[in-house]
Amino acid sequence: MIIIMLGAPASGKGSVAEILSAEYKIPAISSGDIFRKNISEQTELGIKANEYMTKGQLVPDDITVSMIKARLSESDTKNGMILDGFPRTVKQAEALDQMLEESGKKIDIVVNLETPEDEILQRITNRRICSNPECKAVYNTVLHPSKVEGICDKCGSKLYQRDDDTIEKAKNRLVVYFEQTAPLTEYYKKTGALYSTTLSQKINRMKEEVSKDVIEYLKNK
């Protein structure tokens, strides 16, 4: 089972991917986590990627593809994977198609999450992340706060706000997304793999409802 998660930053991709990962027992692979790992380890690719990420810009395709290719070669992906944050451009999608074709695999579904822009900005600026790399729980100071301010409910580690989760950088990321990533919906629509759905608090349709519908859709596909 190979699932691609599409959607603007903070649209809920990671939350839905976590549920689907448990359902299908395949790893949810976040490009953001891969970037941060390379950055923290000061790899050559990590240093280059950080120059773009700190400005709220997309990392160039060649850097991203190299990082992803290395991760997809690891043993835990043999039965499938959920990709969150990759591909982000049509060029990356084409590179992924080639990677999968070489290993005799194909994409089963591309889940495209649609969320109102004002909700996205609120989620980004109020988002807090667990500092424990083994936990990485995500909170929202308004929608889903931790029981003790600044402390993770699950492991007790400190929570932090990402450097690029400011309102200015969040708005820039949305601009970049709609310019460079949104065309992916057309790319995957042509392949027949696209499944678009709304995830929004305004209509009380959140990760649980969306995940349930995706699972049901795949059963009947």
Q: Which amino acids are annotated catalytic?
A: 13, 88, 127, 162, 173
Distance between CA 80 and CA 21 in Å, rounded? 10
Tell me the backbone φ, ψ of residue 3, rounded to 5 degrees.
Answer: -120, 135
Label residue 99 exposed, middle or buried (CB < 10 Å: 0-12, 13-18, 19+): middle
Distance between CA 211 and CA 138 in Å, rounded? 18
Q: Which of 136, 196, 1 is nearest to 80 (CA)?
A: 1
29: helix, strand or coil = strand
